[in-house]
Amino acid sequence: MKILYAASEALPFASSGGLADVVGSLPQAVKEVLGRDGDVRVVIPMYSQIRGKFAEQLELVTEINVRLSWRNQYCGIWKTERSGVTVYFIDNLYYFDRGTLYGCHDDGERFAFFSKCVLELMSAVHFYPDILHANDWQTALTVIYLKRKYAHLEEYRSTRALFTIHNIDYQGQFDFGILSDVFELPEWDRSVVEYNGCINLLKGAIVCADMVNTVSQTYAREILTEYFSSGLHHILRQADAEGKLTGIVNGIDVDYYNPENDPDIAANYSYADPSPKALDKEDLENICGFAHAPDTPIIAMVSRLASHKGFDLVRRVLEEIVANDNIRFVLLGTGETALEDYFRDLAARYPDRVAIRLEYNKALSKKFYAGADLFLMPSKSEPCGLSQMIASRYGTVPIVRECGGLADTIRPYNEYDGTGNGFTFTNYNAHDMMSVIRYACSMFADHSKWDNLVKVVMNVDFSWNVSAKRYIDIYARLK
């Protein structure tokens, strides 16, 4: 089986969030299951950061020119190999030498070019996959181009497309003015991408793909409702009625996130002996400028500062909690200015209880995962969420709101029979969250229960084992 993953980011090369984790680990897991029967490849843009950091590992495959409407642009194709998976990089300095992955005024054009290159790469390297597995709006056009521009060509005819939605909130919406000039779509394809009066690339990919999935079963059901769908529920209900929509929960790379040998944390530890985790807590206390206090629980958030991650709730009650309770709060992440300001202010007023690092930093995030006791994820919506799984791997007990992938991965702890692997609350309500945080802290104070819970949490299997097979089932069905 030949599979090509197209995405705008993948670990370890370029990363701004969970998508990079998935594209950096699912292909390897699939390859491992398929063994010699699998020819698994990935393609991402060659951002300038990649050129700098991975130069020695990359090999130039070929150079072609790629047309996009009236443009005719250079496209270098580079490659490397990771655990049996070939990773291609699309090189064009004009589009990808920006010092940032996204947020440029011409993102639509940049990813249209990338998407066109993905289709052209297939012929340039003579790799016509059975499955094109595209991810999120940035590669939505690969699916649209495959079906609307290339499928009549013999070589492309048997390629089937799976489109994965990692977050419905990001849809790739643009003005109709650029339909043909930038997206190279003729007027008769307008209806394919048209939604609510503008171009919506996510909608176009949902309509064109042979199969659509999202990253947990619960989220796949949630996005059929108006509350979660960011306006796309009509399209998704249609896809669901056609039997085209499903949910597969993500796994994490359990080798990369492994407290037993993680080089980024102060002390390594394992399920068999989690006790050195105390040294990681001390390390985190030092990083945060806190005095050493083993009996004060540290509650961490590692998150993009976006309101749908549950920050309305945090803003409503966090001060009340830190001012009155024996607890410390630490946060790592960047995002919306209003949220950054809120946390700066809080950290300035409670320097011995609140510490923040407003940056995106993978190595530092591991110190947060390993050093904290509790991990807070009160999302308003959460397609899957990886942090709750990563935190668990490091024995840091998650507190989550029951939605999307959080509901599918974290079961509420029951102190009487010891079942469950975290703390949960149902309603998007600040005081519900507060009472669960307080309950979790009371469990933290009970050493025998807590030590047991930490072990239970560390022992949950969040690897790709099961989900990689579910993806392979879909690929096989489509083929």
Per-residue HEC secondary structure of 256-313 comes to CCCCCCCCCCCCCCCCCCCCCHHHHHHHHHHHHCCCCCCCCCEEEEECCECHHHCHHH
Report the Cα–Cα distance between both ends of the chain, in Å, rounded: 8
Among 149, 193, 192, smallest CA distance to 172 is for 193
Shortest approach of ligand GLC to residue 315 CB, angstroms?
A: 20
Shortest approach of ligand GLC to residue 312 CB, angstroms?
A: 17
Q: Is the dihedral of CA 55, 89, 261, 363 positive or negative?
A: positive
* Nearer Cβ to ligand GLC (172/383): 383
* Nearer Cβ to ligand GLC (403/441): 403
Residue with tokens 């194709």: 77
User: What residues line the site for ligand GLC (CB under 6 A)?
Assistant: 17-19, 22, 166-167, 215, 250, 382-386, 405
* Nearer Cβ to ligand GLC (228/290): 228
The two structure tokens encoding residue 37: 């029967």
As a whole number of angstroms, the longest Cα–Cα distance in the chain is 69
* Nearer Cβ to ligand GLC (137/156): 137
- Please report which helix (H) or strand (E) contains residue 401, including its range: strand 397-401
Tally: H helices and E strands in the chain: 19, 18
Residue 102 DSSP SS3? coil
* Nearer Cβ to ligand GLC (133/166): 166
Shortest approach of ligand GLC to residue 278 CB, angstroms?
A: 29
Q: How far is CA 279 from CA 65, 102, 145, 367, 459, in A?
A: 54, 37, 53, 11, 20
Shortest approach of ligand GLC to residue 58 CB, angstroms?
A: 25
Shortest approach of ligand GLC to residue 475 CB, angstroms?
A: 18
Shortest approach of ligand GLC to residue 22 CB, angstroms?
A: 5
Shortest approach of ligand GLC to residue 33 CB, angstroms?
A: 19
Shortest approach of ligand GLC to residue 434 CB, angstroms?
A: 23
Q: Which residues pair with 134 in a beta bridge?
A: 6, 163
Shortest approach of ligand GLC to residue 187 CB, angstroms?
A: 34
Residues contacting 105, CB < 8 A, separation 6+:
none
Q: Is the separation of the CB atoms in 138 and 111 below 8 Å? A: yes
**Number of residue whose CB is nearest ligand GLC:** 18
CB-neighbour burial class of residue 152 (10 A; exposed 0-12, middle 13-18, buried 19+) = exposed
